[in-house]
Amino acid sequence: MRRLAPAVALVVALASDAGAARDLYRAKGASLELSGSIRERFLVTRGTDADDFSDSLTPACLPVESFPDCPAFEEVGERDVWTSLTRLRLRLDARANEWLSAVVVYDNEVTFGILDTFESALGEELTDRRFVDLSDEVVDEDRSRWRHLLYRGYVLVETERLEVTVGRQRVPWGVGRLWNPIDRFNAIGPLSIEADQSQGVDAVKARWLFSGFTFLEAIYAAGASGNDRAVAGRLHGVVRDVDYSLIGGVFEEAPTLGFDLATNLGDAAGRVEVVWTDPKRRVRPFGDRRRDALSDYWQIVVSVDHNIDLGSGVYALVEHLYNGNALGFGRGEAAGLLGFFQESGEDPNRIAAPGTTDLFGQSRVVTLGENLTGGQLGYDLTPEVNGSLLLIYDWEGESASFFPSLRYSPLDWLELTIGVQLFAGPRRSEFGERDTLGFLLAEVFF
């Protein structure tokens, strides 16, 4: 643990100079600016002991007919879990001239708490799809970890008609507020505690600018292996008062087509997002020797939001997701771990073995039910305090999530957020077996 001392000392030193973003160099169109933040994320919930789960994987878990009764699933959510993550983020913005610039964002993360859960280990294994692993573990112990990583690092070339970005970057596609099935790079789920955190993608992005707001975008992302590459394009424009985008590409060998629309509906705003995917990779259903490709599927998002003139203003949002690639209400009866499994065919006892993201059909939006509706309200209680309430209902499983939060910003350089996620519903539904989660986020900007 002595190896943690330099990181802790650096955090304390930078915190003492909060709000002091500074220019390191500026002259004749060239500049170098340093900024950053320190974030504390504290979570309390329940999880699954990795050792207990492994010990409960008996021979009865192998035959498909007895898989739903696998005793390992009884261990899900049986352990109290808390984690404290402190992230020091440094951002360097460099500009050589009017057409050449670069951004580097570097993180140090120190984590304490209950870290050896099955969900944590499996989640880390399945989510990293980037081309290069630019991270390193300095400390990796039972109750503490210290790692550093490149969060963003790219070079941007800008001319009058062409922009080219090379490196680790954020590629935000889609217009949905809660779900973005059209985003095959960095889609962020509606229940994400850190909604501003996205893994990023190692890619080359070129954007050709035409007249007005019309542009054509082409992206090549290499992926963790040669077959994981993504090649895609997007045409964006405006017709009357409708913003539109047309997308097409191949993501991890799955051809994909889609479009999104955004327009005003009186005083409100409406959005539509539609995407079709045809997975080509073959997956083997649990207990079956055959390997079959998943069926092609549609995903659709429709949403309306409006700022209501009441008090300081109430933000209201209603959004519906249709997910034709839903993992299935009750399929495999794998409790809270059902998101790591995928059915092939209509028989609810046939599920694919876990261990690969191919089971998700190359989608970044993973749900159990086909139809989910979300509603969100936001209100500024004072100029410094904002309250938010997010509700999501699962129509197939008749389950629901409740996500109230409160954000307090007493100073320009300080932000505090506290919240809780509550879930209700029957077993094996979208939210019925999720455990209550409480969290605190505290961030200092400098």
Q: 77 vs 82, 118, 282, 368, CA distance in Å?
A: 13, 10, 31, 18
Give the model's pLDDT for residue 182. Answer: 96
Strand partners, 377: 316, 389
Closest CA to 345 of 332, 364, 362: 332
436 vs 404: CA distance, rounded Å: 12
Closest CA to 298 of 268, 326, 262, 266: 326
pTM of the complete model:
0.87
Give the model's pLDDT for residue 354. Answer: 46
55 in helix, strand or coil? helix
216 in helix, strand or coil? strand
Give the model's pLDDT for residue 61. Answer: 66
Please give the torsion angle defined by the CA atoms of residues 192, 196, 197 and 202, in that order, rounded to the nearest 10 degrees. 130
Give the model's pLDDT for residue 128. Answer: 58
Are 368 and 338 within 8 A, CB to CB? yes
24 vs 28: CA distance, rounded Å: 14
Tokens of 61: 């878990």
Are 202 and 168 within 8 A, CB to CB? yes
Give the model's pLDDT for residue 341. Answer: 42
Give the model's pLDDT for residue 21. Answer: 66
The fold of the 2-445 domain, in CATH, is: Porin (2.40.160)
Give the model's pLDDT for residue 343. Answer: 31
User: By CB neighbour count within 10 A (0-12 exposed, 13-18 middle, 19+ buried), where does 47 fall?
Assistant: buried
Q: 278 vs 256, 440, 443, CA distance in Å?
A: 7, 40, 42
Are 14 and 446 within 8 A, CB to CB? yes
419 vs 423: CA distance, rounded Å: 14
Phi first, then psi: give them for residue 210, nearest 5 degrees. -105, -160
- Which residues are within 8 A (CB) of 387 and not within 5 positions of it... i.e. 6 or more apart? 378, 379, 381, 404, 405, 406, 407
Q: What is the pLDDT of residues 367-410, one digit of tens each?
A: 888 999 999 999 999 999 999 999 999 998 899 999 999 999 99
Phi first, then psi: give them for residue 381, nearest 5 degrees. -65, -40
The domains of the chain are located at: 2-445
Are 352 and 283 within 8 A, CB to CB? yes
Give the model's pLDDT for residue 20. Answer: 60
Residues of the chain with pLDDT under 70: 1-21, 59-69, 75-77, 118-129, 284-291, 328-357, 359, 427-428
Are 353 and 286 within 8 A, CB to CB? yes
Tokens 């352990």 sit on residue? 79
